A and B are shown apart, each in its own frame.
Chain A
Amino acid sequence: MHETMVAQSLLEMISAEAAKRNARPIGAKISCGMLNPVNDEILSFAFGAIAKSTVCEDLKLEIEHKPMNGQCKNCDSTFELELSHLVCPKCDGKDFELLPNEPLTLEEIEFQTE
């Protein structure tokens, strides 16, 4: 639901970086954790709509979804959590520590080279 707000924030951040470098941004990579996911299709649509007639028009957004990791308290292994099946894949242990969730981050911008 707040993809439009994320899109607005992204547009401001990318436009500011573009102005600093006096370059045209053509691509951007963002990442998000499992506890604050964004929907790729809705975000790309919202970004495309508000980026019209700005320096970010036609910019290609790439969204990386980072897995949530857990650390098993029984065998100490670190594993990717599957929310519908919360057990350690190695030892079937159910007691684990959730590792920190990745915040929604603007990782990288690709600028057009002259």
Chain B
Amino acid sequence: MKVNIGKKILLANEEYALKNKQLLAEKKKLCLNMISSPGSGKTSILYRTICDLKDKIKIGVIEGDIQTDIDAERIRATKAPAIQVNTDGACHLSAAQVNKALENLPINELDLVFIENVGNLVCPSDFELGENAKVVVLSVAEGDDKPVKYPSIFAKSEVLLINKIDFLSAGAQVNFDIERVKIDARKLNKDIKIFPISATTGEGMTDWYDWLIESINNSQGN
């Protein structure tokens, strides 16, 4: 006897994601889920963003890593609140983990919550955390074929940050055609916003900051 079920398999995660979304909406906070492979510069981007915008907006961070609190310590050096979540081997953050971390952040004092997901271009794209948008980071050293090889995250993200562009202007031997990345990403996601940046030199960061501030204003209903 066959019985129709028609239920989402990751429903338990989605229920928590919905709780997080409701909490963030109620408090009018913007929440961004940063996803990339390890070493693309997520923490460096956050560090620079927090320092450069410290007089304009208050940022809190949820740091996801398999082990250690190295990243949360780096963020705390900026005086921004950071909660470290260790996944103990799991390859992505779950909405339940984010729910608990949100309870430990001084959310009423913040304008923006960044979730820095576990470094992984695959699994985190399948797990909604309740964020307003996903931000995918790709650094030039990783190669320009990544949107084609890992389509899911590029299709689901609102913003693509192409980091370490100072490598290109410094003439480093990296095979990276920035136009190819833009074309391939837009085939999967025609509205994706693309900001080529360097978290080291600060090049291109202003456009990213403008987008952040505009998005915060939108979430606060200004």
Contacts and interface: CB of A to CB of B under 8 A. Distances in A.
Interface in B139-194: 148, 151-152, 155-156, 187-190
Given A1-B123, A2-B91, A98-B189, A9 B7 contact: no
Interface in A84-100: 84, 86, 94-95, 97-98
B12 A9 contact: yes
A64 to B, nearest CB: 13
A97 B9 CA distance: 26
Contact of B9 (A10, A110, A112): A10
B3 A108 contact: yes
B109 interface: no
B6 interface: yes
Contacts of B125: 35-36
Contacts of A107: 4-6
A37 B30 CA distance: 29
Contacts of A86: 187-188
A94 B6 CA distance: 34
A1 B152 contact: no
Contacts, number: 80
B1 A110 contact: yes
B216 interface: no
Contact of A1 (B2, B9, B122): B122
Interface residues of B, number: 30
Nearest to A101: B155
Contact of A9 (B9, B148, B152): B9
B92 interface: yes
A109 B155 contact: no
Interface string B69-112: 00000000000000000000011100000000000000000000
A34 to B, nearest CB: 8
Interface string B120-145: 10110111000000000000000000
A105 B1 contact: no
B8 interface: yes
17 contacts: A9-B9, A9-B10, A10-B9, A13-B7, A13-B9, A21-B3, A34-B151, A36-B152, A86-B188, A98-B188, A98-B189, A104-B9, A106-B5, A106-B8, A107-B6, A110-B1, A112-B1
Interface of B: 1-12, 90-92, 120, 122-123, 125-127, 148, 151-152, 155-156, 187-190
The 7 closest A-B pairs by CB, nearest first: A35-B152, A104-B9, A86-B187, A1-B91, A36-B126, A110-B2, A106-B5
